[in-house]
Amino acid sequence: MEKLFLDKKGSIKIASKAYLIIREKSNFSVSQINKIVSIGRDPKNDFILSSKGISRRHATIYLKDKCYFIVDGDLKGNVSTNGLWVNGIKISVHQLDNYDFISFQKGVEAFFIMPEECLSTGKMLELFFKKSFLFASGKTIRSSFLNGSEDRELKSQSTLVPDPKNSMLDGLTYLPNRSNFFSRVERALLFKEQIDQQYIFAVLLIDLDRFKIINDSLGHLVGDELLVNIAERLSTCIREGDMACRLGGDEFGVLLSDLNSLDEAKLITQRIQRSLSKPLQIQSHEIYPSLSIGIASSNLGYKTVEGIVRDADTAMHYAKSNGKSKFIVFNEKIHRTATNLFQLDNDLRKVIKQDGLQIFYQPIVSLKDKNLTGFEALLRWKHSDKGFISPSVFIPIAEENGLIHQVGDWLIDAVCQQLASWNNSSNIKNSLAVNINISPKQLMDSSIVKRLLDNTRKYNLDPAKIKLEIIESILMESTEQTKKVFIQLKEAGFQLAIDDFGVGYSSLSYLNRLPIDTLKIDKSFVKKIGGDGETTSINVTHSIIALAHSIGIKVVAEGIENLYQLAWLRQQKCDYGQGYLLSKPIDANEASRLAEKGLDWTWKC
């Protein structure tokens, strides 16, 4: 490394690189800084400091995106024994600015000068000593020692550099915070890129499943305590040299450094998952934490922190949507799925804007008197390249990106208009009802009640003829807010149905939590009637019908596909039926024709 020695009279020339003036006791040296320089007692360092108390690798300065950073220790994450101060503040990572004053320890200090700076030696030394006086080896001088101008300078410095407690640690859990974590991952990337290409590390993104429900139902204090407990467990089960942080909300990040292989990362993740999922007693509540974890490993050649964290996040979301409580390593397949979803997300936005979604209607019939009682409205998306896309694919996307409200509002209006047209048709004798699927996301906002009421008034409809279908998990996961909306909907006269009942393992005892009118037995039970595994399905279906009737709730069987199923359900006194045997979902015109003629039962039973 080229060194420029200070000539007491001369001045330092303009340099294209930054430079560092180092004072060790009474020796001064000025050196230009290359892309990465290490400072410490190790003879292999670029700047060798020999004083007692200086660590082998006390600090590292590196250049990234035209900015210089200094870190305590080395880029692998090993920190110095005595710490590092910049402008009187202990730092772990710091972006260097002109005239930053670095203290390694008392009497061993440095002064940073940005490229293209031209200073006379006298001016530089004057600045150096002034800073040295202000920021003596890590201890900020009390302002009573300072005269007015220095006081002002110190105050302006302290607004530039926030309190380390706030800037480095998360206020609730005292784990390192997001920016602290990002700097460590950055250092790991730099180490791999510039020092050891074989170096393996991994980033984990950990998200607590159903945290919002815990927060909403048990209160924020319990939620906070849960986060603190999780943070404590996390910091005890990572290895020395790793870093755990709270990224925000219920999201934690872990940097697993210096791994032998990706398998090692998986083993550590398993250990973390086991430890964090153990039951917790918070106040009077027993909580079973469940976590979804995404892993991204440095093997994929990341260049940026954002890249590796983004992929860990994608893997974490993948783990969540694939059943939660698991960990997934980011790979090419997940990348393709994510890209596909991103594309679908864009296309969905377009199709909604262009009014390109359609509504199909599937008949619901009374199994007692075989009359058509109404239809379930089901969304259809005919994609220009991909053909029909199932609502089971695009509804979760719309829920995720918030479009569900726009889609839901449009659907409510269109379905109400259709029902009014059937009501006003002289060719339709039956008084029909429509079932509308409502996403739990829509129930979080009570404006849905007003939206539905506005439409019933606009089209002059009886709210009792609108049945709102909500998935079963709402029974277990309902919050105070959803409960409130449910009650408002019920008071406004709408009918409430639980969709796909039986798959979510919620017991019938949950039913009295919400004012429910109808249960829709999931088609997976109906499908097995008369087939393999019939006994369990028959028992479950039989019990659901009997118990629902005993508390005055009507039952609809979904997915009736054959005559045997139909006959068995009629025998069990199931109230209503729906399924391909009776009719597939059909467009509005066909549904109108069917409503006029009624269903043809001659070949059925």
Provide the binding-site residues for Mg ion, judged by CB under 5 A: 437, 469, 499-500, 558
Each residue 296-325 as x (binds ligand C2E by CB under 6 A) or -, in order, gives ------------------------------
Query: How far is the C-alpha of 515 from the C-alpha of 360, rounded, in Å?
Result: 28
Task: State in angstroms the smallest separation of the CB of 376 from Mg ion.
Answer: 6
Q: Write 1-9 long-range contacts (CB < 8 A, 24+).
A: 1/31, 1/32, 1/34, 1/37, 1/46, 2/31, 2/32, 3/29, 3/30, 3/31, 3/32, 4/30, 4/31, 4/32, 5/29, 5/30, 6/30, 6/121, 7/121, 8/121, 9/121
Instruction: For residue 551, give the DSSP letter.
Output: T
176 binding ligand C2E? (CB under 6 A): no
* Of the residues 580, 597, 601, 605, which one makes contact with ligand C2E according to CB under 6 A: 580
**Is there binding between residue 541 and ligand C2E (CB under 6 A)?**
no
Q: Rounded to an integer, what distance in angstroms lies between the CA atom of residue 396 and that of residue 413?
A: 21
Q: Which of ligand C2E, Mg ion, none lies near 378, with the C-beta cut-off 5 to 8 A by kind?
A: ligand C2E
Give the residue, chosen from 392, 507, 550, 602, that forms a contact with ligand C2E under the rule CB under 6 A. 392
Which is closer to ligand C2E, CB of 117 or CB of 399? 399
The residues, ordered by sequence, that sit 6+ positions from 144 with a Cβ below 8 Å of its Cβ are none
Q: In the chain, how many H helices and how many E strands?
A: 19, 32
- Measured in whole angstroms, the distance separating CA 353 from the mean position of its chain's CA atoms is 26
Binding status of residue 39 toward ligand C2E by CB under 6 A: no
C-alpha–C-alpha distance, residues 515 and 496, integer Å:
7
Minimum CB–partner distance for residue 440 and Mg ion (Å): 13
Judged by CB under 6 A, which of 272, 411, 553, 555 binds ligand C2E?
Answer: 411
Q: Does 413 bind ligand C2E (CB under 6 A)?
A: no
Strands 101-105 vs 554-557: parallel, antiparallel or unpaired: unpaired
Q: Which of residues 293 and 516 has its CB atom nearest to Mg ion in the complex?
A: 516
Stretch that binds ligand C2E, among 13-21, 152-160, 313-321, 579-587 (CB under 6 A): 579-587
Contact map string, positions 361 to 390, toward ligand C2E, x by CB under 6 A:
-x---------------xx----------x
CA distance 153 to 161: 12
Contact residue for ligand C2E among 311, 472, 500, 575 (CB under 6 A): 500
Minimum CB separation from ligand C2E for residue 420, in Å?
A: 18
Nearest in space to 322 (alpha carbons), one of 300, 337, 336, 310: 337
Least spacing, CB of residue 280 vs Mg ion, in Å: 35
For ligand C2E, the binding residues in 547-576 under the rule CB under 6 A are: 558-561
174 vs 410, beta carbon nearer ligand C2E:
410
> Should residue 269 be labelled a site residue for ligand C2E when binding is judged by CB under 6 A?
no
Tokens of 58: 């006390």
Beta bridge partners of 437: 469
Quickly count: other Cβ atoms within 10 Å of residue 438's Cβ: 25
CB of 366 to ligand C2E, least distance (A): 17
- Please state, in angstroms and rounded to a whole number, the distance separating the CA atoms of residues 36 and 47: 11
Which of residues 185 and 521 has its CB atom nearest to Mg ion in the complex? 521
Residue 559 partner contact from Mg ion, ligand C2E, none using kind-dependent CB cut-offs of 5 to 8 Å: ligand C2E
Beta-carbon contacts of 206 under 8 Å, excluding residues fewer than 6 positions away, are: 234, 251, 252, 253, 254, 272, 276, 291, 292, 293, 316
121 in helix, strand or coil? helix
d(CA 127, CA 132): 8
Query: Shortest approach of Mg ion to residue 416 CB, angstroms?
Result: 17
71 binds, among ligand C2E, Mg ion, none (CB under 5 to 8 A by kind): none
Q: Which residues bind ligand C2E (CB under 6 A)?
A: 362, 378-379, 390-392, 395, 411, 437-439, 469, 499-500, 523, 558-561, 578-580, 585
